[in-house]
Structures are given as C-alpha cells and as structure tokens.
C-alpha cells in the first residue's frame, strides 16, 4: 500500500526512521516516482556509489555499505516481479521489442524478427565462446584478476 501512497511512504520509510529531512524537498508524487524507479538498475548511481566507497576505503574511512533496490525482470514488463524471470530461456518477439524500447536499443522490428519467433534475430543471441566479443570479455576479466578478483581490506581498517 505504501508504494501507491506518497504520504504513507514518506511516513513509514522516512519519518518513522528519522530520515524525513532527506525527502522533504520531494512532493508525494516525486517520492513515489523515485521509489518506483529502482536505483539498483541505474549504472551511473551504482558507479558513483562504488567510487565513493573506494575513496572511503583508500582514506582509511569507515566501511561502506551500498544498498540497491532492484526489481526482478526490470525492463521486461511481462516478467517484472515474477518467478518466471529466471526460468524462461527465450522471449517472444513482442517481449524483445518492448525490452528494446525500454532500454532504447537502436534496432528495428525487422531486425528483431529475423530468424523466427523468439529467436531475437542476430542481435539478441549468444555469439558463442569463439566470437571476438566473448574473447574480448574473457580477456578483460582475466586482466582484472579472474571471475572473482581478490578483495583485500585497506591498511588501517
């Protein structure tokens, strides 16, 4: 209920937790809009948070925690919040077109339809392990220390 009621959201999420001043500049409508747009899918916000956490660590400051709200199936309107997101392996052409539109991917309907229903044309396919794209990504990951790069705490923390 709080998601649809800006005043209730303000009270329960912010005022009751001593954070009302953080959202006092927002109208109820703006607060609902910000709440419904999950920041965990905003690459610029995530990058800025990671950069700040890195600066904190380098300066010997306090540990950082990044909380990010995400939605399962974000940008896939037919999947949002449904468990099928992790079970469905292919998407129908109309779902691919919606995905394309939401994420502003410059593809035509014809490009998506090529190859048959649910095939995604040549643009939404796994290019294969021997493709130049995948080889590049693997090389970059290795350059960064592998799949799980070691993380060591900074001196003095």
Q: In the chain, pLDDT over 70 holds for what percent of residues?
A: 75
**Closest to 78 (Cα-Cα) out of 56, 102, 44, 54:** 102
pLDDT value, residue 72: 67
Q: In the chain, pLDDT over 90 holds for what percent of residues?
A: 11
Q: Please give the Cα distance from 40 to 102 (Å, whole number).
A: 16
Q: Please give the Cα distance from 80 to 88 (Å, whole number).
A: 13
pLDDT in tens, 133-151: 899 999 998 888 887 766 6
Q: Please give the Cα distance from 16 to 5 (Å, whole number).
A: 15
pLDDT value, residue 2: 43
CB 69 within 8 A of CB 39: yes
Q: How far, in Å, are 4, 7, 24, 49, 100 from residue 30 at the CA level?
A: 12, 11, 11, 22, 26
CB 75 within 8 A of CB 102: yes
Least confident stretch, 64-68, 78-82, 84-88, 124-128: 78-82
Q: Please give the Cα distance from 31 to 12 (Å, whole number).
A: 13
Look at phi and psi of residue 118 and say left if phi exceeds 0, alpha if psi is from -120 to 50, else beta: left
pLDDT in tens, 97-134: 887 887 778 888 888 888 766 666 766 666 778 989 89
Using the structure block, give the residue that is written with the tokens 């005022």.
Answer: 15
Residue range 38-60: average pLDDT? 84
């Amino acid at each position: 209920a709080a998601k649809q009621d800006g005043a209730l959201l303000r009270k329960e999420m912010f005022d009751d937790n001593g954070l009302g001043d953080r959202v006092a500049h927002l109208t109820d409508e703006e607060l609902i809009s910000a709440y419904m747009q999950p920041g965990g899918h905003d690459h610029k916000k995530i990058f800025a948070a990671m950069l700040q956490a890195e600066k904190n660590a380098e300066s010997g400051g306090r540990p950082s925690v990044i909380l990010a709200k995400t939605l399962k199936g974000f940008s896939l309107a037919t999947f949002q919040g449904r468990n099928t997101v992790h079970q469905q392996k292919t998407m129908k052409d109309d779902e691919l077109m919606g995905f394309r539109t939401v994420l502003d991917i410059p593809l035509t309907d014809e490009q998506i339809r090529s190859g048959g229903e649910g095939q995604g044309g040549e643009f939404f396919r796994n290019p294969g392990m021997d493709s130049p794209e995948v080889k590049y990504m693997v090389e970059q990951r290795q350059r960064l220390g592998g799949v799980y790069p070691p993380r060591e705490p900074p001196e003095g923390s």
